[in-house]
């Protein structure tokens, strides 16, 4: 599938479809003709790109203190 930028409005719609369990990431990618990778980035709040605009990256990684150190 061809990857393309999406509007903030569409990004929010995609997040809601996934968040409320209405569709899987694969189903969303087919519905909107975008890559599943882009859907994953959108639902995890990593990226959206308004048409003709710059890419906006947001979100944060979860950091666990002592993870894998037996603490």
Predicted TM-score of the model (pTM): 0.60
Residue 1, pLDDT score? 42
Q: How many Cβ atoms are within 10 Å of 43's Cβ, its own excluded?
A: 17
Model pLDDT for residues 3-58, shown as the tens digit of each residue: 456 788 888 899 999 988 889 999 999 999 999 988 988 888 776 556 666 656 56
Q: How far apart are CA 33 and CA 27, in angstroms?
A: 10
Classify residue 69 by its DSSP letter: T
Contact 29, 1 (CB under 8 A): yes
Per-domain residue ranges for the chain? 8-52
Average pLDDT over residues 53-69: 51
pLDDT value at 62 more than 50: no
């Amino acid at each position: 599938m061809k990857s393309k930028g999406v509007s903030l409005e569409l990004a929010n719609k995609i997040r809601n479809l996934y968040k409320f369990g209405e569709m899987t990431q694969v189903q969303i990618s087919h519905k909107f003709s975008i890559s599943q990778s882009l859907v994953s980035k959108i639902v995890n709040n990593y990226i959206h790109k308004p048409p003709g605009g710059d890419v906006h990256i947001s979100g944060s990684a979860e950091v666990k203190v002592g993870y894998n150190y037996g603490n």
